[in-house]
């Protein structure tokens, strides 16, 4: 998720656009400006190194949630520290107002934009999460949300916990990539295309593509527990982060309202199965999610009223997906408890 560096309509926070009249501009998602990779051999100048980097996320953001889940499943918490921003941004970017003194205790900055400026002075683009910052220099390393978690799975292996699952198994990568591309275009990004549409036809096109893809995914998951193979992979992480937000925000706020996710037996069972798997639901903060979407997107929700529902107790109800078989962690094991200080606050937990 991005924040623009100047005051504009808040609904354009995630847009990268050409200089066209505002009333004609449709939502587009920009690629990462900082696409350096942190690799085992350090070929981009950033070697994998325990304790050197800090992962900055918003728990509201589905793209950042991918990194949170991957980090948990792989056991990278001791090697890669975590900074969580306030879900409510302003024109100066993501803020560290959840921390004492309104500054990140490790980086010493008040706004994530300061790490961007340290890397490239007067960088004109959006300030996005997830982001990885080099602690010694205070410089942003990467904001490449598409590549970041794949590198966690393949380049950070020396720092994985014992029993970490293989989230991007080599023998299934072609299929995983194909599934993820459709999920990205029509679901992950599709909800934004619908929610930020400026014209009726644009909205309807995104709406139809979204639900057509969800129908295909529902059919696929009717006979298998996970998207690819019989274990959790990167593809499941990427689908989960949109589905877990669907009824709380996308169904109403973004007008993706053909049906609620809870009305699709297969997808509702699938997302609850993942939510109840260690490493997934224990990273989800529904309070941050709802407050961000309903209070930041003021052109979509000018009253800034945050809905009370939906009922979060349903997330702990039986899903019945075990009967499909599958091994969530393959030959590995579940992650351990959430590290102290990283727990989701009580206000945001499903009860």
156 belongs to an annotated ligand binding site: no
Q: Which residue has the tokens 């727990």?
A: 343
Query: CA-CA distance, 118 to 112, in Å (whole number)?
Result: 10
Mark whether 256 is an active-site residue: no
Active-site position among 53, 116, 192, 207? 192
Please, what is the end-to-end C-alpha distance for the chain in angstroms?
27
Residues in the chain: 351
Helix (H) or strand (E) holding 192: helix 190-195
Query: CA-CA distance, 193 to 206, in Å (whole number)?
Result: 6
Q: Measured over all CA atoms, what is the biggest interatomic distance in the chain, rounded to whole angstroms?
A: 55
Cβ neighbours for 28, distance < 8 A, ≥ 6 positions apart: 15, 16, 17
Minimal CA–CA distance to 267: which of 219, 327, 323, 305?
Answer: 219
Strand partners, 131: 56
Query: CA-CA distance, 106 to 82, in Å (whole number)?
Result: 9
Report residue 119 as tokens: 């890397």
Beta strand residue intervals within 187-321, DSSP E: none
Pairing status of strand 139-142 against strand 127-128: unpaired
Query: CA-CA distance, 39 to 149, in Å (whole number)?
Result: 12
Helix (H) or strand (E) holding 293: helix 286-296
User: Torsion angle of alpha carbons 304, 21, 32, 204, nearest 10°?
Assistant: 70
Mark whether 184 is an active-site residue: no
Query: CA-CA distance, 223 to 178, in Å (whole number)?
Result: 19
Query: CA-CA distance, 40 to 260, in Å (whole number)?
Result: 43
Report residue 258 as tokens: 């053909």
Active-site position among 61, 116, 207, 270? 61
Q: Which residues are catalytic?
A: 61, 192
Binding site as annotated, residues for glutathione: 94
Binding site as annotated, residues: 94
């Amino acid at each position: 998720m991005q924040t623009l560096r100047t005051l504009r309509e808040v609904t354009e926070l995630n847009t990268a656009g050409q200089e066209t009249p505002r009333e004609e501009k449709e939502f587009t998602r920009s690629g990462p400006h900082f696409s350096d990779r942190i690799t085992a051999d350090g070929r981009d100048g950033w070697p994998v190194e325990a304790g050197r980097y800090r992962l900055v996320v918003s728990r509201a953001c589905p793209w950042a949630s991918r990194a949170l889940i991957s980090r948990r499943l792989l056991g990278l918490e001791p090697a890669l520290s975590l900074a969580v921003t306030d879900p409510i941004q302003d024109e100066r970017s993501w803020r560290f107002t959840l921390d004492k003194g309104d500054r990140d205790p490790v980086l010493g900055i008040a706004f994530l934009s300061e790490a961007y400026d340290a890397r490239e002075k007067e960088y004109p683009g959006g300030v996005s999460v997830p982001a990885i910052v080099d602690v010694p220099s205070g410089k942003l390393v990467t904001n490449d949300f598409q590549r970041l978690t794949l590198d966690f799975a393949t380049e950070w292996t020396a720092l994985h916990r014992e029993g970490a699952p293989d989230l991007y198994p080599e023998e299934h990568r072609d299929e995983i990539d194909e599934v993820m591309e459709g999920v990205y275009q029509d679901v992950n990004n599709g909800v934004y295309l619908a929610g930020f549409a400026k014209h009726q036809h644009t909205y309807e096109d995104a709406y139809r593509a979204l639900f057509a893809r969800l129908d295909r995914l529902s059919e696929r998951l009717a006979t298998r527990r996970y998207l690819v193979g019989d274990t959790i992979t990167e593809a499941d992480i990427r689908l989960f982060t949109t589905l877990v937000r669907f009824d709380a925000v996308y169904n109403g706020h973004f007008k993706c309202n053909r049906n609620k996710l809870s009305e699709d037996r297969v997808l509702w069972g699938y997302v609850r199965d993942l939510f109840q798997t260690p490493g997934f639901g224990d990273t989800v903060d529904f309070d941050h999610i709802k407050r961000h979407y309903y209070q930041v997107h003021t052109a979509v929700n000018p009253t800034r009223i945050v809905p009370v529902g939906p009922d979060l107790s349903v997330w702990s109800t039986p899903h019945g997906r075990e009967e499909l078989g599958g091994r969530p962690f393959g030959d590995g094991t579940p992650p351990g408890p959430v590290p102290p200080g990283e727990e989701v606050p009580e206000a945001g937990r499903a009860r």
